[in-house]
């Protein structure tokens, strides 16, 4: 599936995906205090490191309105970013907690909460112009850190790269065109960390490598 070549800035009022629109309507009914809308990228726009996740978590970004904030996946992510000087504090709880990023930006391949955290291929494709815009704003050289295979595949499709030429693998590095490097990591989800598929040291090493590449 080839992604759209369109590029456009994030739209907080995007309603392009009927299934996601219906799902968010139901979520707002059950959780009236939740953000339950497209979640904007977080961090300085002109950062050398762009971290790409999958989609907002039900009780995390979908609730708070900020990527990886308020859920389990954000614990390891923000703690590690703080260790490398990319965040001013190690904890992300809410949009007004004072957290700031330096030198990195966080976004998702899909900006809205999908049912069961599983976006369809069409939904990923419809959201691609927003991710393309983020990638186009990366200074060169620039580094993309993909958290999981869907994020990895989304980046490659947007850049017109063959997936078979760049297989996903934890800590894998892919030299792409136009001064971009893609680094892969297993997603820092509760499932991956509690099963030991992704350890704290594994994640620290891959983030450190992404930071190093962005400084070359």
Asked if 169 and 184 count as a contact pair (C-beta separation under 8 A), the reply is: yes
On the CB side of 135, CA atoms within 13 Å amount to 30
The string of pLDDT tens digits covering residues 166-190 is 999 999 999 998 889 999 999 999 9
Tokens at 5, concatenated: 């070549």
Query: What value does the mean pLDDT take over residues 85-100?
Result: 97
Distance CA 57, CA 71 (A): 7
Predicted pLDDT at 216: 62
Question: pLDDT at residue 17 above 80?
Answer: yes
Residue with tokens 């400084």: 215
**Could you tell me the CA-to-CA distances from 75 to 19, 60, 93, 114, 163 in Å, in that order?**
29, 11, 9, 21, 30
Alpha-helix runs per DSSP H in 38-181: 61-64, 72-83, 121-136, 149-158
Predicted pLDDT at 118: 94
Residues in the chain: 216
The string of pLDDT tens digits covering residues 142-163 is 999 999 999 999 999 999 999 9
φ/ψ (deg, to 5) at 173: -120, 140
Domain architecture of the chain: domains with CATH? 28-215 (3.40.470.10)
Distance CA 28, CA 23 (A): 9
Q: Which of 104, 111, 171 is nearest to 138 (CA)?
A: 104
Pairing outcome for strands 173-175 and 180-185: antiparallel
């Amino acid at each position: 599936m080839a992604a759209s070549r369109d590029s456009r800035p994030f739209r907080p009022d995007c309603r392009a995906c009927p299934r996601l629109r219906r799902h968010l309507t139901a979520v707002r009914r059950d959780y009236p205090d939740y953000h339950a809308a497209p979640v904007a990228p977080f961090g300085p726009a002109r950062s050398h490191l762009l971290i790409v996740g999958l989609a907002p978590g039900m009780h995390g970004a979908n609730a708070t309105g900020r990527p990886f904030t308020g859920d389990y996946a954000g614990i390891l992510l923000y703690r590690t970013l703080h260790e490398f000087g990319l965040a001013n504090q190690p904890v992300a709880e809410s949009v007004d907690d004072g957290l700031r990023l330096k030198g990195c930006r966080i976004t998702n391949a899909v900006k809205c909460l999908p049912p069961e955290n599983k976006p369809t291929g069409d939904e990923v494709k419809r959201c691609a112009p927003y991710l393309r815009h983020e990638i186009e704003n990366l200074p060169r050289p620039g580094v993309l850190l993909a958290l999981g295979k869907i994020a990895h595949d989304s980046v490659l499709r947007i850049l017109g790269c063959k997936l078979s030429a760049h297989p996903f693998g934890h800590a894998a590095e892919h030299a792409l065109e136009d001064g971009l490097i893609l680094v892969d990591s297993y997603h820092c989800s509760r499932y991956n960390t509690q099963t030991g598929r992704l350890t704290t040291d594994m994640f620290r090493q891959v983030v450190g490598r992404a930071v190093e590449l962005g400084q070359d």
